[in-house]
Amino acid sequence: MDSVYTPDHPASAQILFDCVAGSRAYGTSHADSDEDIRGIFVLPAAAYLDLAPPPNQIADARNNVVYYSLRRTIELLTAANPSLLELLYMPADCVRRSSPEMQPLLQQRALFVSRRCADTHVGYAFSQIRKARGQNKWINQPKSAQPPRREDHCQVIRRDRLVGGAAPCRPQSLAASGLDLARHHAARLEHARDIYRLYDYGDAARGVFRGDALAVESIAADDEAARFAGLLLFNEHGWKQAVADHQNYWTWRRERNEARWRQQEVGELDFDAKNLMHTIRLLLSGKAILERGEPLVRVAGESLQLLRDIRTGRYRYDEILAMADALVADCENLKQRCDLPAETDPAAANALLFRLTQDWEARNR
């Protein structure tokens, strides 16, 4: 269960830790970068005995500000979540607040560093590649402001094409058929999914689509032959998917950082450079875990220059994928000889959760 962030929620006394995260922590920010706040809040143990579950996360509408409950934090750390692990290794200049209860968690942060962390970093990295490809489609194939019409997902077999003609029983688009669904009624074709019989009622018709639904009629026996106009094939699943895609596209358009997409919209790049920059950053961090036992948060030197060059479009898509493949190979080799545990000890993580909660409750009695 999640909750909506406000300046008073979570309450100040509940906040164990918060920091400036994202590009400002990584060292990759620029003038148009958003400011991302990430933090941890705590609830009394009794809150988890309530029938209404407490929130796992408190966030604003755009997820620029996100606080995780301590319980959810430990749970995600135990699962080797890269975003939560980096909170335990934030540069000092990014930390805004850190409570006394946060110190034992920071002192025991190595508990959550494991070989599994390298695997999750690789997994997250390649999800960024998929994301870059998906949003690239939105850039190159923008959607109109008008939502998808049901009529555009209809095919028709007119009565005169059911048997006769050179290509009998071949469906054609609604537009090509010349039929106006507003002048027709529909009846379900028995034992067939998404196929309807059409009947022409002219000006007296109430239409096939009414409001949010396709209206299924009972046709009088006298009208069955006289008014039969053909068959309607309505791809309802395809229409619903198109509606969802349209909504996702326009949500992305409303909420996106415009400066981020400028290069793609003018044709300088054919991929989302920021996502691919984060692909390489995550892989560098996974490699650092296996080499040094901790993630790479603040990037510097040649690695930082590489990320900036990717962000500004210096490298082609295939070159970046080759870099990613090489880093994955490095991680696999390092994993074979590193001495990190395979994964976090859940009993130790659970004990730490109990201790931190009890310490906070004792201080806030």
Dist. CA 39–CA 12, nearest whole Å: 12
Q: What is the dihedral of CA 42, 47, 49, 55, to 10 degrees?
A: -70
pLDDT of residue 24: 95
Distance between CA atoms of 126 and 139, rounded to whole angstroms?
A: 20
Tens digits of residue pLDDT in 150-189: 999 999 999 998 987 677 888 999 999 999 999 999 999 9
Residue 57 forms part of a structural domain: yes
Distance CA 272, CA 317 (A): 9
201-212: string of b/e by CB count within 10 Å (b at 16+)? beeebeebbeee
Cross-sheet strand order for the sheet of 95-98 = 2-4, 57-59, 65-69, 36-41, 15-21, 95-98
CA-nearest of 338, 257, 184 to 22 is: 257
Question: In terms of domains, do 134 and 231 share one?
Answer: no
Average pLDDT over every residue of 30-37: 86
Q: Could you tell me how far CA 210 lies from the centroid of its own chain?
A: 33
Residue 254 within a domain: no
Task: Please tell me whether residues 31 and 107 are part of one structural domain.
Answer: yes
Kindly report the pTM of this predicted structure: 0.67
More confident residue, 126 or 232: 232
Gap between the Cα atoms of 7 and 129, Å rounded: 35
Q: Give pLDDT, residue 219.
A: 94
Q: Cα–Cα distance between 150 and 83 in angstroms, integer?
A: 41
**165-172 LR contacts (CB < 8 Å, sep 24+):** 171/231, 171/233
- Residue 12 inside a domain? The answer is yes
- 191 and 89 housed in the same domain: no
Residue ending a domain, among 211, 240, 269, is 240
What 3-state DSSP class applies to 137? Answer: helix
d(CA 197, CA 187): 5
Q: Does residue 296 belong to any structural domain of this protein?
A: yes
One-character DSSP codes across 17-32: EEEEETHHHHT---TT
- Give the chain's mean pLDDT: 89
128 shares its domain with 167? no
Domain identity same for 99 and 134: no
Residues 81 and 181 in one domain: no
Torsion from C-alpha of 263, 264, 269, 271, nearest 10 degrees: 130
CATH at residue 62: 3.30.460
Model confidence pLDDT, tens digit, residues 220-265 = 999 999 999 999 999 999 999 999 988 887 876 776 655 554 544 4
- Based on the domain organization, do 334 and 347 belong to the same domain? no
Helix (H, G, I), strand (E, B) or coil at 229: strand
Residues 175 and 200 in one domain: yes
Query: What is the residue range of 312's domain?
Result: 115-143+259-340
Domain count along the chain: 3
Q: Are residues 2 and 68 in the same domain?
A: yes
Residue 248 lies inside a defined structural domain of this protein: no
Residue 251 falls within a domain, yes or no? no
- State whether 64 and 101 are in the same domain: yes
Residues 163 and 203 in one domain: yes
In this structure, are 87 and 222 located in the same domain?
no
Give the distance from CA 273 to its chain's centroid.
17
Q: How far apart are CA 212 and CA 243, in angstroms?
A: 12
Which tens digits make up the pLDDT trace of 262-308? Answer: 544 444 455 778 888 999 999 999 999 999 999 999 999 999 999 99
